[in-house]
Structure 1
């Protein structure tokens, strides 16, 4: 019988390779990094053997700090918040922090509530308002369309049939807002690991440590692509 390969971060084809973040973020200009949002921003996730336990936003901050040790980091993310609550409760302290780099992740708690389709434009407007305010204060803004799972077994039975549909709609709408506002957008909705339920926490909603590591890798690669654009 062939030996079973246990996937770890070092072997995962979607995670950072040794020294990759150092190379991609070398000489980066950012000094103040703020994170706003819900549980995605906060970093709710189960640990996985062989993977860093660090939530993805914290991991991005750590890699930025490795290249620039004086980096100041503020994570305001808190689980359960809807987009309007993120703007009402987190935007002012984020602006007071005066970030030159900011990450915004919100909208999932809106998408999973009844009536999302009727409120989707308003959710988009809240996200756009957060982005615009941060950009006006001089921050480069990162946005995220989160992994869309093929099933959400932990959702109430009445919501399960439309859970994937709603999250896919949120992802597409977030991508559209990001394009309109000119953010650095991390589109994870159709990422290859999105269909792998082994990248999901036991709650059936949040990505586990593997998903966190992949999200961090994609974010760092996007920032590195800005810093070191490939020749045409």
Structure 2
């Protein structure tokens, strides 16, 4: 296993940790959980998280890359593009261009870079079926860009937890605490960290199938409670990240928590 001393995470709400905690108690998220695993194997590790919810890939590139480079990471995670992908004017080539520029700069500075591919969106939110082909194409572009720069692309498509409802918050845009924990395990496994429980690759215990009326009610509730407000914010040019800054902008030691 490669020893790491400075881990910097950049990205949007998933990397910030939305869905795992809240603004009152603080957000944890898969990147924080990964940092804890790294610190357990690398005493003295320092960690910074520059991610801010709502950011598009171009904003992550413009706002977070230079601060990340100044911290001289030997490990960096770059996960962005989902906010772009959900928008009507999505241009895959432009978004991948931002990701690839970040891959190139960070690997050129000597960092091991990790990114994550996205799961089948229809299995998470059936009403998002029109976006399915877009997600598959975007993943293929991520893999190709990662390969060009020696970036480790962690696969989630086909891994059972990534499309299990229990891995997602009610909004279906952000991972639940369980989902963040399993995503951290997936990245830790890809990095070759010791003592990673292989259960992250296995299906969660089966649930009884919902009745058709329950499925319909769930979709209607999701549309009214989450999809509608999200679309309304986009129309108004608003973002959930307006006025927010990084939760952990400087490198600092990691506090180890009890495993959960």
TM-score of Structure 1 vs Structure 2, range by shorter chain = 0.7 to 0.9
The question of 1:64 aligning with 2:32 is answered no
Return the offset for 1:184: 1.3
Q: Distance in 1 between matches of 2:55 and 2:172?
A: 18
- 2:108 aligns with 136
With normalisation by structure 2, the TM-score equals 0.67
Q: Which residue of 78, 85, 92 maps to 2:59?
A: 85
Structure 1 residues 1-232: aligned runs within 5 Å: 28-46=2-20, 54-116=28-90, 119-151=91-123, 153=125, 160-224=128-192
Q: Which runs of 5+ in 1 are unaligned?
A: 1-24, 48-52, 227-232
Q: Write the deviation string for residues 147-177 of structure 1: whole angstroms up to 9, x where unpaired.
A: 33325659xx7xx342333333322221221
Task: Name the SS for the 1:150 alignment partner.
Answer: helix
Say if 1:46 and 1:137 are closer, same or farther in 2 by CA, change over 3 A. Answer: closer
Count of residues paired in the alignment: 189
Q: Which runs of 5+ in 2 are unaligned?
A: 22-26, 195-260
Larger deviation, residues 167-176 vs 77-86: 167-176
Q: Write the deviation string for residues 166-225 of structure 1: whole angstroms up to 9, x where unpaired.
A: 333322221221122211111112322233222211112112122111111111111117
Task: Name the SS for the 2:121 alignment partner.
Answer: coil
Return the offset for 1:138: 0.8
Give the root-mean-square deviation of aligned CA atoms.
2.2
Q: Could you tell me whether the CA contact under 8 Å between 1:104 and 1:142 is conserved in 2?
A: yes
Return the offset for 1:46: 4.7
Q: Distance in 2 between matches of 1:192 and 1:151?
A: 10
Q: Distance in 1 between matches of 2:124 and 2:152?
A: 28
Say if 1:46 and 1:72 are closer, same or farther in 2 by CA, change over 3 A. Answer: closer
Q: Could you tell me whether the CA contact under 8 Å between 2:41 and 2:193 is conserved in 1?
A: no
User: Runs ≥4 in structure 1, deviation > 6 angstroms?
Assistant: none
Say if 1:198 and 1:42 are closer, same or farther in 2 by CA, change over 3 A. Answer: same
Q: Write the deviation string for residues 11-46 of structure 1: whole angstroms up to 9, x where unpaired.
A: xxxxxxxxxxxxxx6xx4210000011112111125
- 2:256 aligns with none
Return the offset for 1:132: 0.5
Task: Name the SS for the 1:33 alignment partner.
Answer: strand
- 2:219 aligns with none
